[in-house]
Amino acid sequence: MKIAVIGQGRMGSLIDQEAKKRGHTTVMGDCLVPDAIENAKDSIDLYIDFSHPDNLDFILNTAAGTNAALVLGTTGYSDEQLARIEEEAKTRPVFFSSNYSLGIAALKELAKAAAAILNGWDMEIVELHHNQKADAPSGTALSLLETIDPNNEYEHVFGRSGKPGARKKEIGIHALRGGTAAGDHEILFLGDQETVRISHSAQNRQIFVNGALDAAEFMEGKPASLYSMTDLVGAKR
């Protein structure tokens, strides 16, 4: 495939390198440096974006009028942007996930089962990322929150301070930032005299790069729809 890699930061560079290793051709750019992608837009098969929410308009405008697929891994989208992504998936194949790790996909399955079995236990989510990450909590933490509270039955408390008093029917979400941590996520289920922890630790960004390219190759020839890691994991079974 001919792949447009949006953004020229660390993730963009790693995706570009891995795509070439797998035999794809690439072109790089974003809304600030658009020429290379705009000049090649008619021949682009797929866009991969792990950059910044501000690039969404550029991607959708450049891809307009083509059949190119989208693989979106950027976090921090607004509700309006998320709605636009869902609308775009009606006209082209769109793969969207806040985390492209196979391990995180497994973590969600385990968390879903634990939440059902440990119904009534207290639940907390803790995530750790590097000191350059822009958004907090992480998109993955929010997706884990949706996994364990799909019907919004709990109050969502983002950090605590002061004197919050006795715990209510709530889930706490805590964001830690520092160093070069690629991404750690932990869900705690706290019951009477016992605690269950389910966690995942990313050792480096390459796992997300590999997942993004797996998603890109999975998307080849797919019809218009919104795809996720659930679809990719299902294809691997």
Mean pLDDT of 54-67: 96
The region that residue 23 occupies, defined by phi over 0 for left and psi between -120 and 50 for alpha, beta otherwise, is left
pLDDT of residue 10: 86
Domain ranges of the chain: 2-100+205-236, 102-201
Residue 236 has pLDDT above 80, yes or no: no
pLDDT of residue 138: 93
pLDDT of residue 209: 95
- Active-site annotation holds for 185: no
Give Cα 5 distance to the centre of its chain. Answer: 16
Name the CATH superfamily housing domain 102-201: Dihydrodipicolinate Reductase; domain 2 (3.30.360.10)
Q: At what angle do helices 229-236 and 102-117 cross, to 10 degrees?
A: 100
- Active-site annotation holds for 24: no
If DSSP codes are grouped into helix, strand and coil, which group holds residue 197? Answer: strand
pLDDT of residue 165: 93
Residue type, 124: E
Q: How many CB atoms lie within 10 A of CB 146?
A: 13
Give the span between the Cα atoms of 154 and 174, in whole angstroms: 16
Check whether domain 2-100+205-236 has CATH 3.40.50.1370, yes or no: no
Query: Would you call 237 exposed, middle or buried from its count of C-beta atoms within 10 A (0-12, 13-18, 19+)?
Result: exposed
Mean pLDDT of 142-169: 95
pLDDT tens-digit profile of 128-155? Answer: 999 999 899 998 999 999 999 999 999 9
Q: Which of 24, 41, 108, 129 is catalytic?
A: 129
- Which residue, 51, 50, 48, 55, is CA-closest to 24? 48
Q: Which of 133, 156, 174, 222 is catalytic?
A: 133
pLDDT tens-digit profile of 4-56? Answer: 999 988 899 999 999 999 999 999 999 999 999 999 999 999 999 999 999 99
pLDDT tens-digit profile of 203-233? Answer: 988 999 999 999 999 999 999 999 999 899 8
If DSSP codes are grouped into helix, strand and coil, which group holds residue 172? Answer: strand
